[in-house]
Amino acid sequence: MIKLHFHPLSTYTRRVRIAMLEKGIEHELIAVDMAARKHREPDYLQLNPYGRVPTLQDGEFLLYESNAILQYLEAIHPQPALVPADAKGRALVDMHLRLCDLQMARQTGIIIFPKRFLPKDRWDEKAMTQARAEIERHLQILDRQLHGSEYLVGNQYSLAEISYTPFVQFLALMEITPPPRVAAWVERMLDRPAARQTEPTN
Ligand SMILES: N[C@@H](CCC(=O)N[C@@H](CS)C(=O)NCC(=O)O)C(=O)O
């Protein structure tokens, strides 16, 4: 059975958990005690030399980087399909996965890591303000792309939405009010059973 090394509060891991639930892939969850720095110990570094979660273990095969894991799960378990069948649709999903990391996930981390885990006197307010502005600009672009469509690619729920779900979860915590089409899109994503089942407790 596929094993997923994870942490319950990890945004990047949540992408993979949602995809496995959406696809009904049986798996074993193995919690990494990050508070005890287990992710920096040799045993875990043998699985993932970067010392991060998630790490997927399928027999001897090891894979890290959440978006790569999503693509692997799609390849080994194509139904229900979370990417369109045509080359253009697949390329667009790929584009959105990259843009999510570049324009949203990184900036979200800059804001929510301190807000969730650090006392206020250790926050880098300047970096957080800049990250918030970058996210707001990005959401305006997504809002235009969602014109006339409920989802980013081919008007169907795809890996693109899965990639965004853990990060849009924190818009309120980041004090960001999304533009209207993005707000409706976020609501649709967060309302899915797999998203609800993996909601973070912090
Ligand atoms: N690009 C990686 C990011 C993974 C990542 O940064 N995971 C965080 C938890 S959400 C982590 O393990 N951080 C621990 C560290 O960097 O020391 C992915 O997509 O999987």
Angle (deg, nearest 10), helices 159-168 and 66-76:
140
> Pocket of ligand 1, candidates 52, 102, 162: which has the most ligand atoms within 8 Å of its Cβ, to mutate?
52
Rounded to the nearest angstrom, the distance between the alpha carbon of 54 and the centre of ligand 1 is 7
Residue 54, preceding peptide bond in cis (omega within 30° of 0): yes
> Pocket of ligand 1, candidates 12, 63, 64: which has the most ligand atoms within 8 Å of its Cβ, to mutate?
12
Q: Which two three-digit tokens encode residue 15?
A: 């992408």
Could you confirm whether domain 87-197 is CATH 1.20.1050.10? yes
Taking CA atoms only, the protein residue closest to ligand 1 atom 16 is: 52
CB atoms within 10 A of CB 3: 16
The ranges assigned to domains in the chain are 2-76, 87-197
Q: What is the pLDDT along the chain (202 residues), one digit of tens a residue?
A: 999 999 999 999 999 999 999 999 999 999 999 999 999 999 999 999 999 999 999 999 999 999 999 999 999 999 999 999 999 999 999 999 999 999 999 999 999 999 999 999 999 999 999 999 999 999 999 999 999 999 999 999 999 999 999 999 999 999 999 999 999 999 999 999 999 999 998 7
CATH class of 2-76: alpha beta
Please provide the DSSP assignment of 79-132 as one string: SS-SS-SSHHHHHHHHHHHHHHIIIIIHHHHHHHHHHHHS-GGG--HHHHHHHH
Helix (H) or strand (E) run with residue 27 in it:
strand 27-31
Instruction: Specify the pTM.
Output: 0.96
